[in-house]
Amino acid sequence: MDIVFIEDLRIDAVIGIYDWERRIRQTLSFDLEMAFDNRKPAATDAIEHTLNYKSISKRLQAYVESSSFGLVETLAERCADIVREEFGVSWVRLKLSKPGAVRGARAVGVRIERGTKPE
C-alpha cells in the first residue's frame, strides 16, 4: 500500500463551543494520510494519474474556511468524507489539531481513520 500525505495544512476557521470562539477565526492544522496506488503515476509520470494533493488541499481549505462547527470531531468527519467521496480514496487517516486550545498543551484535537486500509 502506498500513502499520499499532506502535513500541517493550516486553515483558519470558526470552530468551538464557547461564545468567544464563535466571534473569531482560529488556525487549525490538518495532517492526512491517504491510501493510493502510486504505480500508475510512477510509470506514466503524468499528474492526471496521481492523487493530487494540491487539489485535495484546496478543496479542504475552501470547505473549512466556510464552515462553522462547534466540535473538531464534526469537522474532521466531514473532511474525511470529502476526501473519500470526492477523490475516491478508500482509506484516510486524518489528524485535526487545534493549537493553543488548552493552556500548557501545544495542541489538542482528534485523529480518525475511515475506510478500509489496503494491505
Domains, the chain, ranges and CATH?
Answer: 3-115 (3.30.1130.10)
In this structure, what C-alpha cell is assigned to residue 31?
495532517
Strand ranges (E), 16-115:
26-35, 68-69, 91-99, 107-115
Distance CA 40, CA 30 (A): 27
Q: Is residue 113 predicted with pLDDT exceeding 90?
A: yes
Interaxial angle between packed helices 72-87 and 53-66, expressed in degrees from 0 to 180 and rounded to the nearest 10:
140
For residue 100, the model assigns a pLDDT of 85
Q: How far apart, in whole angstroms, are the C-alpha atoms of residue 108 and residue 92?
A: 20
Mean pLDDT of the chain: 96
Q: Does pLDDT of 76 surpass 90?
A: yes
Assess whether pLDDT exceeds 90 at residue 119: no
Q: With 90 as the cut, is the pLDDT of residue 1 above it?
A: no
What predicted TM-score, i.e. pTM, was given to this entire model? 0.94
Report d(CA 105, CA 84) in Å as an integer.
31
Is 40 one of the catalytic residues?
A: no
Q: Which residue is catalytic, options 40, 58, 98, 117? A: 98
